[in-house]
Amino acid sequence: MNIPTDLKYTESHEWVRREEDGSLTVGITEYAQDALGDIVFVELPQVGKEFTAGNDAAVVESVKAASDIYAPVSGTVTAVNQPVADAPDSINQDAYGAWLFKLAPSDAAAYDKLLDAEAYGKTTDH
Amino acid sequence: MTLKATPLNSAHRALGAKMVDFGGWDMPVNYGSQIEEHNAVRLDAGMFDVSHMCVVDVKGANVRAFLRGLLANNVDKLQAPGKALYSCMLNAEGGVIDDLIVYFLAEDWFRIVVNAGTADKDVAWMNQQNAATNSGLTITQRRDGNDPIALIAVQGPNARAKVWQVLPTTQAATEQLKPFNAAIVPGTAFGEAMVARTGYTGEDGFEIGVPAAQAEALWNALLAAGVKPAGLGARDTLRLEAGMNLYGQDMDETTNPLDAGLAWTVDLVSERDFIGKAALQAKGQQAQFVGLILREKGGILRAHQRVVAASGNEGEITSGTFSPSMQQAIALARVPMDVAIGDTVQVVIRDKHLAASVVKLPFVRNGKVLAA
């Protein structure tokens, strides 16, 4: 399964990309969308909401299961991807393109502590 | 723990199926997209490996009398060979041990198909009742052991035509079969085939039983004829749209069938006594079983979500999903007696109370959306 090396990851199957301005873009991995199956509902956070790392930030529901998406680091939501909320199956089509929300991290160094592609790959190797 | 495998296990893996542990069985949940598989059944023809379910043959001179006492529905409705009946098997408290289909094949032979997870319990119960009533019957499960039968359900508006392409010698015996009737046809290309016009999807089709050793060849022939493989994910969305109960979820041994929308399968009218009858007559119906359609955005309806009626009385969703055919979240729910079809109720999803309409079941039948 595809795990891009230019992204960071969490054990709960979120991917994270640091943008040039320091903001973080968050989505769910290909592994996660495959495990969920056909995604039919997405609930995104409000712009401006503040999260501590590990808080419930969003919800992705497939036909068979609801899955909480967690804030990978502490920060404030700066943008959400409404087109993905309107077309939930886009996550199945392109997990790394269908980002969910962007965060302004409260601690820039927290990103570096996330899993790299190899470490994340090991967590999905069963 | 090793999972149990049906005779079609390698066929599923060869198709790239996503396999899951389903009650101890290694089963395909989808072959890529459960929504596509669902739509194939509603619009064309799909097939399910249901060989984890168990055929049980009950034979002997007293079999009809035995089943009159064992089953909540009345086997005396079965007078023409091949005719079948959907029934619950109850315990003495009126709780549901299983739901099943019983086929009348001959005066000394009825065939019953029971659920996968309950088969051992069901056969043990039948053996116990056989002894208790001195009926002297032979009860043989046909899933494990010497002479196993594998089951493939082919469902959809084009299902029967595709089955006849692959099993042409069954057409004469099955073309005139009405729904809930079966025929056993010997000497087909895949051995002796039982072909039943039954199913769990709300579409037309045949459920086919063949010797387990022939299952893979039959499956591949159906594939070649254009029947789309469909997994347990699609099976659940199809049966839910069709308003069909799932044992273990919509009802179990603690559930009275009258509270599970199954009063139509319980014959309380005739003088026939059966296990659980007295308990049902004493309890009566205490809850309604209805359909729900979610009317506000905020999630998907799911089992165990609380349902709050306008009166403040509460019920519970027993099965929920996102309906591919309706593009809405739908559910089956057990609700208080003061809820009426057409009411709006609140469903609690995470931290929200969301409005849902109470509708009559089924949601969908023969490709048409009936509930809106």
CA–CA gap between residue B258 and residue B231 (Å, rounded): 30
Locate all alpha helices (DSSP H) within B94-203, ordered by sequence: 119-132, 159-166, 171-174
> Which is nearest to A81 in space by CA: A67, A68, A95?
A95
Is it the case that residue B1 has pLDDT exceeding 80?
no
- B113: CATH: 3.30.70.1400
Conformational region of residue A105, where left means phi above 0, alpha means psi within -120 to 50, and beta covers everything else: beta
- Residue B239's alpha-carbon distances to B51, B170, B175, B234, in angstroms, are 18, 27, 25, 9
Domain final position from B192, B215, B240: B240
- The upper half-sphere exposure of residue A26, i.e. CA atoms within 13 Å in the direction of its Cβ, equals 31
> Which is nearest to B181 in space by CA: B165, B167, B157, B160?
B160
Q: Does the CB of B272 have a partner CB in chain A at under 8 Å?
A: no
Average pLDDT over residues B69-88: 98
Tally the domains of chain B.
Answer: 2
Q: Are residues B87 and B173 in the same domain?
A: no
Average pLDDT over residues B308-317: 97
Q: Which residues contact A30 (CB under 8 A, 6 or more apart)?
A: A1, A2, A3, A95, A96
Q: Are residues B234 and B213 in the same domain?
A: yes
pLDDT tens for B232-260 read 999 999 999 999 999 999 999 999 999 99
Rounded to the nearest integer, the mean pLDDT of chain B is 97
Q: Are residues B13 and B156 in the same domain?
A: yes
Is it the case that residue A126 has pLDDT exceeding 80?
no
User: Which domain covers residue B195, as residue numbers?
Assistant: 9-52+146-240
Chain A residue numbers touching B302 (CB-CB < 8 A): 66
Quickly list DSSP for B93-121: TS-EEEEEEEEEEETTEEEEEE-TTTHHH
Q: Does the CB of A108 have a partner CB in chain B at under 8 Å?
A: no
Q: Are residues B74 and B180 in the same domain?
A: no
CA of A46 vs chain B CAs: smallest distance (Å): 14
- The upper half-sphere exposure of residue B86, i.e. CA atoms within 13 Å in the direction of its Cβ, equals 16
pLDDT tens for B123-176 read 999 999 999 999 999 999 999 988 999 999 999 999 999 999 999 999 999 999
CA–CA gap between residue B288 and residue B260 (Å, rounded): 7
Is it the case that residue B49 has pLDDT exceeding 80?
yes
Domain final position from B240, B256, B272: B240
Chain B, window 29-68: residues with a beta carbon less than 8 angstroms from a chain A beta carbon: 29-30, 33-35
Q: For chain A, list the domains and their CATH numbers.
A: 8-105 (2.40.50.100)
- B173: CATH: 3.30.1360.120
Is it the case that residue B372 has pLDDT exceeding 80?
no
Handedness of CA B239, A40, B345, B334 (dihedral sign): positive
Is it the case that residue B220 has pLDDT exceeding 90?
yes
Q: Is residue B161 part of a domain?
A: yes
CB atoms B300 and A41 under 8 Å: yes
Domain final position from B221, B240, B259: B240
Q: Are residues B107 and B228 in the same domain?
A: no
State percent of chain B over pLDDT 70.
100
CA–CA gap between residue B218 and residue B208 (Å, rounded): 10
Confidence of residue A1 (pLDDT cuts 50, 70, 90): confident
Check residues A90 and A125 and name the one with the higher pLDDT. A90
Residue A82 burial (CB count, 10 A): 10
Output the CA torsion B245→B252→B264→B46 (10° steps).
20
Q: What is the pLDDT of residue B73?
A: 98
Q: Are residues B177 and B30 in the same domain?
A: yes
CB atoms A66 and B300 under 8 Å: yes
Average pLDDT over residues A50-75: 95
- What 3 state SS string does B201-215 have? CCCCEEEEEEEHHHH
Instruction: Name which of B33, B302, B350 is nearest A38 (Cβ-Cβ).
Output: B33
Average pLDDT over residues B288-295: 98
